[in-house]
Amino acid sequence: MPVALASPADGTGRLFVADLPGVIRVVGADEPFLDIADRVVDLRSGYDERGLLGLAFHPRFRENGRFFVYYSAPLREGAPAGYDHTSRVSEFRAATPDRADPGSERVVLEVDQPQANHNGGSIAFGPDGYLYIPLGDGGGARDVGRGHPPGGNGQDLGTLLGKILRIDVDGPEPYGIPADNPFVGREGRDEIYAYGLRNPWRMTFDAGGEHRLFAADAGQYLWESVKIIVPGGNHGWNLREGNHAFDPENPYVSPAEVPRTGRRGEPLVDAIIEYPNAGQPGGIGQVVIGGYVYRGSTIPWLFGRYVFGEWSRAGAEGDGIIFAATEGPKGQWEFTEVGVAGSRTVGAYVLAFGEDMERELYVLTAKSRGPAGKTGRVHRIVPA
Ligand SMILES: [Ca+2]
Ligand SMILES: [Ca+2]
């Protein structure tokens, strides 16, 4: 079940794919690059949001062999009672160009997870050389319940859940805090880069332009959205679901009055893309899947557009969709479905997207909802 693709700047052009149960493979190679399945929680075969969720190569991987993974580990000792598991970001090193050293693990950061779902995980290095880590609101639904404080994790600056973090993996161990992180010297955990996220499932930097950070944020029941992440910004959850108001006590109806500010009077950042979930009339699909701004050369009409996806139009058949969005004059992006070989769907669940060193794009799919089976595929997106 491929959920992340990464390509190091080592001149080889190799594509590394993270498989949910805990294996990293090089496309075209027989042997795994790294197998840490025994360090990942036991996954439920039918559906699971836990697993090996992210992979990022150090910007100087060619010289230092360092790379980072995000995975769901068994609940650590000392975690709150009744929690589900612990999210772990670890560093590993390559022993040879083709094989990582599984004994080289250095745990960088751990976050206890009250529920199994909403784990984010698509770690990425920014153009500033810092490591960005997306984390969902802890899980469950509505950002309430065990492990969710009054008002929710997304709006609570005292927790790392419901946030995007930014840390320095080249400074002191286990990690350093960039001096210009937005909550250094004021209320809020210093690791926080942005907040108010529900489940940022797939986050990427634009390889061109101003290198903006895009994150899809999976909605609750009504609204799927994509956000451009603002440093220190409050992206709304759970005061908002997408750009609509949200009421955790009445989650199937969007309240008429949309909040404009958070509890400290700070402005809420609007999503750039929003569409209705299939749970409401006219809905498009089940879960938004974050993609990339296309900066490749083989599909000129796509250049500068944000390519993203939908896990499944109807849910049961794995009829995923690919979209392309174009930036509008007022911060709202218009998007349209992209046909795939004459079809409106890719014929499988869309799980994630990937980008190679030439900035061409890939779509990662599976025909099953869970990690069982061998239907996972990595497709290159090419001109029709
Ligand atoms: Ca969780
Ligand atoms: Ca602080």
Q: Which two tokens stand for residue 168?
A: 């320095």
Q: Which two tokens stand for residue 5?
A: 């693709």
The enclosing H or E element of 62 equals helix 61-64
CA of 187 from ligand 1 middle (Å) equals: 24
CA of 171 from ligand 1 middle (Å) equals: 28
CA of 161 from ligand 1 middle (Å) equals: 9
Q: Which two tokens stand for residue 80?
A: 């709150």
Q: Sign (positive/negative) of CA torsion 14, 16, 17, 19?
A: positive
Residue 82 burial (C-beta neighbours within 10 Å; 0-12, 13-18, 19+): exposed
CA of 181 from ligand 2 middle (Å) equals: 9
d(C-alpha 245, C-alpha 231), whole Å = 22
Q: Which domains does the chain have, with CATH numbers?
A: 2-284 (2.120.10.30)
User: Which ligand lies nearest to the CA atom of residue 232 in the structure?
Assistant: 2
Predicted confidence pLDDT, tens digits, the chain (384 residues)? 999 999 999 999 999 999 999 999 999 999 999 999 999 999 999 999 999 999 999 999 999 999 999 999 999 999 999 999 999 999 999 999 999 999 999 999 999 999 999 999 999 999 999 999 999 999 999 999 999 999 999 999 999 999 999 999 999 999 999 999 999 999 999 999 999 999 999 999 999 999 999 999 999 999 999 999 999 999 999 999 999 999 999 999 999 999 999 999 999 999 999 999 999 999 999 999 999 999 999 999 999 999 999 999 986 778 999 999 999 998 899 999 999 888 888 999 999 999 999 999 999 999 999 998 999 999 999 998
SS3 of 230, please?
coil
Contacts of 73 (CB under 8 A, 6+ apart): 39, 40, 41, 85, 86, 87, 88, 110
Chain centroid to CA 91: 18
CA of 218 from ligand 2 middle (Å) equals: 27
User: What pLDDT does 317 receive?
Assistant: 76
Tokens 């609570």 correspond to: 156
CA of 199 from ligand 1 middle (Å) equals: 9
Has this prediction a pTM greater than 0.85?
yes
d(C-alpha 219, C-alpha 97), whole Å = 40
CA of 314 from ligand 1 middle (Å) equals: 24
The number of residues in the chain equals 384
d(C-alpha 227, C-alpha 128), whole Å = 20
Tell me how many helices (H) and strands (E) the chain has.
Answer: 1, 25
CA of 354 from ligand 1 middle (Å) equals: 23
CA of 118 from ligand 1 middle (Å) equals: 5
User: Which ligand lies nearest to the CA atom of residue 201 in the structure?
Assistant: 1
Q: Sign (positive/negative) of CA torsion 153, 156, 158, 160?
A: positive
